[in-house]
């Protein structure tokens, strides 16, 4: 498992959406499950304050 420091920022000055940066060391790991263009499901676990991202089936 790779752990890296990411960052959250606003997609543009007028957007309400946000972008999450995933460090290259995490992306380059062979177990990283995503490819560019993959559709994903984003879940918010508010009780544990975490974001869960999984591939869309």
Q: How far apart are CA 27 and CA 22, in angstroms?
A: 7
Query: What pLDDT, on the 0 to 100 scale, is given for residue 22?
Result: 94
* The pLDDT value given to residue 35: 94
pTM for this entry = 0.72
Nearest CA among 6, 43, 42, 7 for reference residue 25: 6
Write the CA distances from 35 to 2, 28, 30, 42, integer angstroms: 17, 11, 11, 16
Residue 2 maps to a domain: no
Q: Is residue 17 part of a domain?
A: yes
Domain membership flag for residue 43 = yes
Instruction: Give the tens place of pLDDT for each residue, 1-57.
Output: 778 899 999 988 888 899 999 999 999 999 999 999 999 999 999 999 999 999 998
Tell me what pLDDT residue 34 has. Answer: 95
Specify the number of domains making up the chain: 1
- Please indicate, yes or no, if residue 29 is contained in any of the structural domains: yes
Q: Say what the pLDDT of residue 2 is.
A: 75
- Does residue 15 lie in a domain region? yes
Give the residue numbers spanning the domain of 47. Answer: 7-55
Could you tell me if residue 34 is inside a domain? yes
């Amino acid at each position: 498992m790779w752990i890296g420091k990411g960052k959250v920022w606003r997609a543009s000055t007028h957007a309400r959406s946000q972008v999450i940066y995933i460090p290259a060391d995490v992306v380059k790991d062979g177990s990283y499950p995503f490819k560019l263009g993959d559709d994903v499901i984003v879940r918010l676990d508010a009780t544990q304050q975490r974001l869960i991202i999984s591939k869309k089936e």
